[in-house]
């Protein structure tokens, strides 16, 4: 048997300060933030939070029906283009619209858009638009005599969304040819069919809110934004506050653990440590008779699931600690209540890991849009536009650290605010219970920075 630790995680050679100093500084920021929260934040600010409609011309335009229809039609057109380009276009990732659009523009870019502008994905969600259009046509055809959808089972909770998220990351990080355009197109088709089945069974809104993976994923991020739509009216709220209005449900913790764990595995898979562990696992699966490609995929699958399980276990460890103080509430309930406070951490991980992907590879969409099939077209006159590497390594490293530390401080603030609500009648439990969250956040911060600031030694 091989103990695969020939290469560990070593500091990158080009860091502006040592890795130890980065870690120490980040932990100090967390501890100081924790103390400041305990001393200065004495009543809940997010529950309930203020919301006011966006007045004026902009608010009216953005909430209008034509804009809704335009966004929906754009979403459907882009879905069709991804499938068509993936199946009919040139089968190389660099020349085909589908892989860059799905993995960079949607998967990463939509996170940034959700933070900046609110739940943008809801407006562009092609499955929701098609589902609503089909329901409208069916109602007209049957003169409103459609049978009502099944009630969404309470026990199902967010499990379909969690499964969908893990399945997407399996495609992205486990599959040995993730950027193969036809693979992207076929996966999109399969996911579309499953989504339509879910919508047909439980209704468009119920499935979109809890079952459809991308809707749940981007909606969670959009809750950090200052924009919120209520009954079709766009309005403003304090940043972060939207996370306090999430309906708790079974599987929510797993969704958040998947958001953090899958990105962590992406980081781990680029380290020398994983080259050795993954290699050893690959050897093990190979010895069981799997082909080298399948063995590689199986080892990645084990790593991915292990990272999600590790994040889940660390969070539940923090909850188990809180449970020492709290004899009344079940651990599962506490876990669901505090799970939204992990969303800023997920944002920090996604932002830090995929910052350069979005900033640099994201520019490729300008020429891919002009030539989506890779056949030499120039629809918008941008086929010759190149990629500008406008950020240096130092700036990127500082942005990583700022994102990771900022995300964890925001998570501490959210958890503190939630603790003030949960322990409204037992104020002496607020700070001791949050010491556990502080410890969990520090573990996450150290892990994130180690994965980001380490070389492939």
Query: Which of 220, 274, 225 is closest to 251 using CA atoms?
Result: 220
Min separation Cβ 433 and other proteins, Å: 9
Query: Which of 340, 338, 358, 282 is closest to 103 using CA atoms?
Result: 358
- Please give the helix or strand (H or E) that residue 262 lies within, else none: helix 252-268
Query: What is the token pair recorded at 156?
Result: 């199902």
Query: What is the token pair recorded at 5?
Result: 């630790």
Half-sphere exposure of 159 (CA within 13 A, CB side): 7
Min separation Cβ 452 and other proteins, Å: 13
Cα-based torsion angle of the residue sequence 198, 256, 223, 413 in order, rounded to the nearest 10 degrees: 160
Q: CB-wise, 68 or 276, nearer to other proteins? A: 276
Half-sphere exposure of 45 (CA within 13 A, CB side): 13
Q: CB-wise, 308 or 438, nearer to other proteins? A: 438
Q: CB-wise, 326 or 371, nearer to other proteins? A: 326
Distance (Å, rounded) from C-alpha 199 to C-alpha 181? 27
Min separation Cβ 284 and other proteins, Å: 10
Task: Report the DSSP beta bridge partners of residue 53.
Answer: 235
Q: CB-wise, 45 or 435, nearer to other proteins? A: 435
Q: CB-wise, 274 or 367, nearer to other proteins? A: 274
Min separation Cβ 337 and other proteins, Å: 19
Q: CB-wise, 7 or 88, nearer to other proteins? A: 7
Direct distance between the N- and C-terminal alpha carbons of the chain, in angstroms, rounded to an integer: 22
Min separation Cβ 236 and other proteins, Å: 38
Task: Give contact residues for other proteins (rule: CB under 8 A).
Answer: 1-10, 20, 23, 272-273, 276, 317, 321, 324-325, 327, 432, 435-436, 439, 442-443, 446, 450, 454, 457
Q: CB-wise, 231 or 327, nearer to other proteins? A: 327
Min separation Cβ 80 and other proteins, Å: 47
Min separation Cβ 355 and other proteins, Å: 23
Question: What 3-state DSSP class applies to 373?
Answer: coil
Distance (Å, rounded) from C-alpha 303 to C-alpha 80? 33
């Amino acid at each position: 048997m091989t103990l695969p630790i020939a290469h560990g995680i070593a500091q990158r050679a080009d860091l502006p300060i040592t890795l130890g100093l980065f870690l120490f500084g980040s932990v100090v920021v967390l501890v100081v933030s924790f103390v400041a929260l305990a001393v200065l934040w004495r009543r809940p600010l997010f529950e309930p939070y203020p919301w006011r409609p966006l007045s004026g011309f902009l608010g009216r335009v953005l909430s209008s029906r034509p804009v809704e229809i335009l966004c929906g039609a754009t979403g459907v057109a882009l879905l069709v283009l991804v499938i068509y380009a993936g199946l009919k276009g040139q089968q190389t990732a660099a020349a085909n619209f589908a892989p860059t659009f799905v993995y960079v523009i949607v998967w990463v870019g939509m996170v940034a858009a959700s933070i900046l502008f609110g739940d943008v994905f809801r407006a562009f969600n092609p499955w929701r638009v098609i589902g609503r259009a089909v329901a409208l046509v069916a109602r007209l055809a049957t003169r409103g005599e459609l049978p009502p959808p099944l009630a969404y089972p309470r026990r199902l909770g967010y499990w379909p969304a969690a499964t969908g998220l893990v399945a997407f990351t399996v495609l992205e990080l486990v599959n040995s040819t993730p950027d193969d355009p036809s693979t992207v197109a076929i996966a999109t088709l399969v996911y579309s069919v499953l989504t339509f089945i879910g919508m047909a069974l439980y209704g468009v809104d119920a499935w979109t809110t809890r079952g459809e993976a991308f809707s749940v994923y981007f909606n969670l991020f959009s809750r950090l934004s200052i924009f919120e739509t209520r009954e079709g009216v766009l309005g403003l709220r304090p940043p972060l506050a939207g996370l306090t209005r999430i309906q708790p449900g079974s599987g929510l913790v797993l969704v958040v653990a998947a958001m953090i764990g899958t990105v962590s595995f992406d980081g781990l898979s680029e380290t020398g440590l994983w080259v050795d562990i993954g290699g050893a696992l690959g050897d093990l699966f190979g010895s069981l008779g799997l082909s080298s490609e399948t063995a590689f995929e199986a080892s990645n699958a084990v790593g991915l699931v292990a990272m999600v399980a590790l994040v889940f276990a660390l969070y539940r460890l923090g909850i188990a600690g809180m449970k020492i103080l709290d004899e009344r509430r079940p651990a599962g309930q506490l876990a669901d209540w505090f799970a939204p406070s992990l969303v800023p951490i997920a944002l920090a991980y996604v932002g830090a890991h995929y910052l350069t992907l979005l900033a640099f590879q994201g520019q490729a969409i300008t020429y891919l849009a002009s030539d989506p099939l890779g056949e030499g077209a120039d629809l918008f006159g941008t086929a010759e536009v190149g990629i500008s590497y406008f950020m240096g390594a130092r700036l990127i490293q500082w942005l990583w650290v700022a994102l990771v530390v900022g995300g964890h401080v925001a998570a501490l603030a959210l958890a503190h605010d939630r603790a003030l609500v949960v322990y409204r009648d037992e104020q002496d439990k607020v700070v001791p219970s949050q010491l556990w969250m502080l410890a969990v956040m520090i573990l996450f911060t150290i892990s994130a920075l180690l994965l980001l600031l380490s070389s492939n030694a």
